[in-house]
């Protein structure tokens, strides 16, 4: 939720952010007007309540002759108070409605849409082969570790089974990520995958992309597309202690996405699916620490990508491709040989105080004053990584070399075709 103090003091910054995102800057002016109306309505209601209270004291001291007329005046004033309070309530609802429509203020991200990212760094060189490489699905099927046909038979399109070594390969990834998170001071969690509407809304996922989310109408609950949602809601309506530093959590969960609007796009294999597993990092910190924490999350993602030994690049995502909550987002994209391009494996976002303001997550500063916390998130491993691992580590005979960091759990150095 946008900070009204920032809006009042620097509306041009918020307008520029809206334009950077390709969103409507007029919402800023509408919110400014609504905020003025709300503040005026609060003053009016307070004044009328004060008058009504003062009149009550006068009635208590009045003579029997004066009291009937004063009581009549008090009843009329009471009606004015009711009307003023209703006007205040309506004004506050209007402000809240507009606040929920305005996305977080962009901080340093390039302007533009999906294709206007800036490449910050290349790590490694694109993998080359002296044979015709197979894509991840052909490899997965020949190795007997991915079964899309039976996944489709049982659950429909974009579902799959990970079988045998495929299941262990994912478990190895997730275990490595969980261990790395613990080494960096994160508390591992297995959070709920069903959340209430106020939690989903509080994290900023019920905006223009709400059609991506599975909604269970009978229960009025949502299936999460990332454990970020449940972790963001963990401290809802709390004042948390940040005196010893940021609170850091790592959520291991299944995630669900409808992939609405992506029909015909990435339908082959397990690149874009409805259900997958993910290890998501989540940080609560003081706002002034957020930028440093963002870089730390990105560096942890670097460590994980180094462990699976794939070439990748880091991009600075453009404003128009940010989620509503993110002020800035870095994506890491691995090289996919059969597609001859880079594809996203992880992202890490600085959401500043946007989510915590919606969810009322606060902390006390050195003077004991309550302030809104900042939140950040970043992916440390997910099912999609198998695509990059299989394709980059394949050999001419169809076998796949298992990255050394994953071998203890996979139980093999090389996966052989069946």
227 is in an annotated binding site: yes
Supply the pLDDT for residue 275.
97
User: What integer is the mean pLDDT of 357-362?
Assistant: 97
- Mean pLDDT of all residues belonging to the chain: 95
- Tell me the pLDDT tens digit for each residue of 15-33: 999 999 999 999 999 999 9
| Bridge partner list, 394 | 400
Residue 401 annotated as part of some ligand binding site: no
pLDDT at 209: 72
Helices (H), 102-206: 136-143, 148-155, 165-183, 197-202
Mind telling me the catalytic residues?
Answer: 257, 272, 344, 347, 384
Share of the chain above pLDDT 70, in %: 99
Per-residue H/E/C for 86-118: HHHHHHHHHHHHHHHHCCCCCCCCCCCCCCCCE
Overall average pLDDT of the 320-332 stretch: 95
State the pTM of this model: 0.92
pLDDT score for 261? 65
C-alpha 316/C-alpha 325 separation (Å) is: 16
Question: Which helix (H) or strand (E) segment is 48 a member of?
Answer: helix 26-61
- pLDDT band of residue 1 (cuts 50, 70, 90) is confident
Share of the chain above pLDDT 90, in %: 90
Q: What is the dihedral of CA 367, 370, 371, 377, to 10 degrees?
A: 110
Q: Is 228 annotated as ligand-binding? A: yes
Kindly report, residue by residue over 128-152, the tens digit of the pLDDT: 999 999 999 999 999 999 999 999 9
pLDDT exceeds cutoff 80 at 36: yes
**Does 345 show up as a binding residue in the annotation?**
yes
The pLDDT assigned to 126 comes to 97
Average pLDDT over residues 343-353: 97
Helix (H) or strand (E) holding 82: helix 67-101
Residue 37, marked binder: no
């Amino acid at each position: 939720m946008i900070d009204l103090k920032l809006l009042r003091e620097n509306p041009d910054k918020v307008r520029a952010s809206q334009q950077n995102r390709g969103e409507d800057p007029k919402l800023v002016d509408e919110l400014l007007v609504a905020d003025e109306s709300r503040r005026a309505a609060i003053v009016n209601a307070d004044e009328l309540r004060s008058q009504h209270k003062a009149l009550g004291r006068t009635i208590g001291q009045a003579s029997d002759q004066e009291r009937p007329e004063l009581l009549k005046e008090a009843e009329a004033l009471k009606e004015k108070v009711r009307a003023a309070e209703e006007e205040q309530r309506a004004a506050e609802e209007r402000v809240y409605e507009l606040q929920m429509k305005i996305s977080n203020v962009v901080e340093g991200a390039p302007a533009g849409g999906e294709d206007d990212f800036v490449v910050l760094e290349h790590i490694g060189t694109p993998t080359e082969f002296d044979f015709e490489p197979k894509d991840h699905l052909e490899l997965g099927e020949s190795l007997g570790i991915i079964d899309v046909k039976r996944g489709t038979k049982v659950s429909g399109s974009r579902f799959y089974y990970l079988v045998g070594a495929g299941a262990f390969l994912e478990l190895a990834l997730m275990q490595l990520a969980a261990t790395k998170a613990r080494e960096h001071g994160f508390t591992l969690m297995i959070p709920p995958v069903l959340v209430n509407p106020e939690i989903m809304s509080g994290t900023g996922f019920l905006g223009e992309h709400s059609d991506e989310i599975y909604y269970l109408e009978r229960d009025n609950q949502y299936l999460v597309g990332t454990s970020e949602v449940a972790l963001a809601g963990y401290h809802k309506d709390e004042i948390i202690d940040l005196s010893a530093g940021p609170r850091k959590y790592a959520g291991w969960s299944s995630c669900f996405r409808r992939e609405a609007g992506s029909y015909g796009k990435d339908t082959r294999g397990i690149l874009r699916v409805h259900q997958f597993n993910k290890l998501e990092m989540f940080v609560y910190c003081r706002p002034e620490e957020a930028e440093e924490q963002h870089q730390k999350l990105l560096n942890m993602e670097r460590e994980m990508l180094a462990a699976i030994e794939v070439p990748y690049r880091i991009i600075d995502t453009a404003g128009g491709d940010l989620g509503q909550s993110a002020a800035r987002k870095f994506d890491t994209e691995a090289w996919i040989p059969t597609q001859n391009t880079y594809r996203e494996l992880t992202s890490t976002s600085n959401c500043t105080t946007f989510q915590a303001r919606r969810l009322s997550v606060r902390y006390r500063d050195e003077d004991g004053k309550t302030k809104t916390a900042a939140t950040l998130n970043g992916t440390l491993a997910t099912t999609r990584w198998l695509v990059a691992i299989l394709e980059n580590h394949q050999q001419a005979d169809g076998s796949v070399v298992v990255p050394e960091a994953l071998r203890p759990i996979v139980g093999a150095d090389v996966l052989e075709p069946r």
